[in-house]
Structure 1
C-alpha cells in the first residue's frame, strides 16, 4: 500500500524535509510520484528507510549509507544482524555506565567504597567520529594542524576561537533566506574559509567537500541548523559557489 510522505515522516519520527532530501540525493526515492508531484512510498521503500535509520543510529554518513545499500553485495538481513550486535554492545556499555553512576552516588553517601578503576567503567572516548571522518575525507594534515593549534592555545585563545566561529555562523544564519551567491553571503562565507585556514589548510575543493558533508551527514546538519533551520544547506551552496569563483579567478 502506498503511503504519503507526511505519513511516512510521522511513522518514522523524522521530518518531511528529511525525506525530500533523501530523495534529492538519491538515497531513498519513492516508488511512485503522482501527476501532482506527491511522493508515495511502498512497503519496500519503508524497509529501506528502516535500514537507513539503523545506519544513521550508528553514525554512518548519508554518503556511506548510500554506497552501502546500493552495493551489489548488500544483504539486508546480514546488515540487520550487524546492527543488532553493535546495538547490544552499545547497550551493555550504557548499562555499565549506569551502574557506575549508581555506585558513585552510593560512594558519595559513604555507603560503599569505590576504586578509581570502578569510577571510569563504561567510558570510552578514545575515538572521535568527527575527527575520524575528517581524516578519511581530507587526510591527516589539516586535522593535525588544527589539533596542534588548539593544543598550543591558552583557554582564553580557545574561547576566542569558539566565539569567532559562533559569530560567523550567527551572521550566516541571518542570510540563509537570501541568495548564497549574493555579495554579503560570499563575504561572510569567505570569513568562514579564512577562519578554517587559520586552523589548518583547506583548499577550495576541500572547502566545497566540507560544505557537502554539512548536508550529507545529519550529525553536522543538526549541529549547524541549531543556529537556524536550513543553514547547513545554505552554507553548502555558498561554499560551492566560493570554490567555483576561486577556480575562475
Structure 2
C-alpha cells in the first residue's frame, strides 16, 4: 500500500470539526473518553486539536458505524495494523452499491479508494466531506427507508439507475439554461421540465410519501447545494420552486 500523500495539513478544534462534519461535539467527546478518537495535537496554550490522521480515523469510524459495526468492533478493527483506510473505504463502497440515493457518495469513495492505492495527493477536505455526507444520509433516512430504497434499486437494475442519473444531469442543465435565458417559470418550456423533474423524483421515491418527506426535509434543512452535493445551487432551486408553484396540483417536492 503506497504511503498516503496528504495535500492539506489541518488542525481543528472540536467545535470546528463538528461543524464541518455533522458529528456532534458530544459524540466527539464520547469517542475521546472511550479512547476511540482523541485529538493528537496541542497548541502552545494547551488546546487540543484534531489533525489529518484524526480526521481520516473519524471518516473510518463514521463509515463503519453506517455499516452496522458497534463502537467496540470499530475499536478492534482500527487497532489492527493490517486494517487500513483503504479497507474501510472498500467496505463502504460495497454497502453503497445497495442504495440508490447514495450514488454521489459512492463516486467520492471510488475516487478516495483510487487515491489510497496510488501516490496521488489526497485532500483532507475530501475526508471531511465524506463524513458530512454519510452523517447527512443517516440523519434523514430511517433504516426502513434505506431498506426500501435498496429493494427499489434491485428492482430497477443498474442500467436503469445509470440512465436516471444521466437524465437528472441533462434536466438540471436544461433548467439552468432556461434560467439563464430569463425564461418565465410558468412558461410551457419550464412546465415540461417540471413534469420530467417530478417523474424522476417519483422514480426515486417509488411513490412512498415517507421517503419523499425525508428527501424534502434534507433539502430544506441542509440547503439545495449541500443536499445535492453541488448539483443544484440555491438560485436554481428557487427557480424550480417557482416553476412547480405554477403547476396545478404540484406537490412541491422539487428536490434532486
Greater RCO (CA < 8 Å, at least 6 residues apart)? 2
**TM-score where L is the length of structure 2:** 0.43
- TM-score (structure 1 length as normaliser): 0.43
Rg larger in 1 or in 2?
1
